[in-house]
Structure 1
Amino acid sequence: MNIAEAKNIFLVAKEAQNVTGRTLGTYQEVFKKFLEYLYSQNMYDISVIDASHIREFIVKLKAGRKGITVHKYFRVLRTFFRFLHQEDYIDSNPMKAIKAPKKEKKAMRTFTAAEISKLLNAFDRTTYFGMRNYCVMAMFFSTGMRKGELRNLTLSDVNVTTDLIRVEGKGQKERYVPLGRTLRRVTLPRFYGHTERVIK
């Protein structure tokens, strides 16, 4: 089977599984580089790819890229070849012979209470946009939500009776986070009662 055809079959299958657009974009990014490498080696058929070819590709990726990026490419290729093997498009999975590349572990710096207070107090809450921006930052600090999660939040997700916020995260996984004292005090749903989205 042609590698481009195998890629398209995989992408259609993942789209049918309702993966996010962001995930599909990551797949496309990885395949672009992987196919460029294969074509440079005059390789066009999926059946001729073995572990040594994938290792060489990963080694080339390491030049000028962070470990976390290389690990992302590895994960996509592992998912791709596992799919091809499970669907009987290839006889064996070359990724089984390859260990995941190490990625650097860095401690994430957190804000101090004083820094959070200083940032929140910088907004002029007597204005619409000042209050809106205050609410955005208060939501980030209080819930730990990602940018995309906050952007997609609607009023129906905020329950002021139970003090819980429904969040739809990566892979459409649902979780609940507490509203928190700060957010309860500014009463987000009342402030944005005229619009469907919490943040606009």
Structure 2
Amino acid sequence: MSVPRPDLILLGLPGSGKTTLAERLGRELGRPVIDLDDRAPAYAGCSTIAEVFERLGEASFRDAETRALADVLDAQDADAPRIIALGGGTPTAATLDASIAAADLLRLAQDERRAILVYLRLSTPSLIARLEQADNHHRPTLTSPTGLAALEAIHHTRDPLYQALAGATIECDDLNEAQSVEAVLRASRA
């Protein structure tokens, strides 16, 4: 019997590089990549995150996101570990009836050694700089006129939770993409 290999789950605030690093890690490690932002809208009967927010609101998106995460974690194959990029707010999400909280699912997966959670941590100024340079049509909470101003409050609220959840925290402010990948690889082997 082989020793189960855990999934590698990347968490971080919007713009922290979760999707980019997941894709690169997937190529380097030969693992399948799952981007939760790509899966969650279908759970709400929509095709994009922006559509979910526009038609159904943030609570419905968080519900869809939590249900997508539960299904992804339930479908784990210890012989084929994956790289999973969470959405920027996934750890704060819950189902509409509050019966399932994403943070609890993530804690359980890590406690059972089915997952290694790595927090890609950036300062608010670094996140703002990245978001200003990026195509943000898919980030409904950050494309409004007050969106970037709200990022400071989001960072202040979520950062302690993300640090508490993560098995490892990577300070990414001064790291380029290659350095971030190496840091994640080191953290996942520790």
Bucket of the pairwise TM-score, normalised by the shorter protein = under 0.3
Scaled by the length of structure 1, the TM-score of the pair is 0.26
Which structure would you say has the larger RCO, counting Cα contacts within 8 Å and 6 or more residues apart?
Answer: 2
Structure with greater helix share of residues = 1
Point out the structure with max Rg over C-alpha: 1
Structure with greater strand share of residues = 2
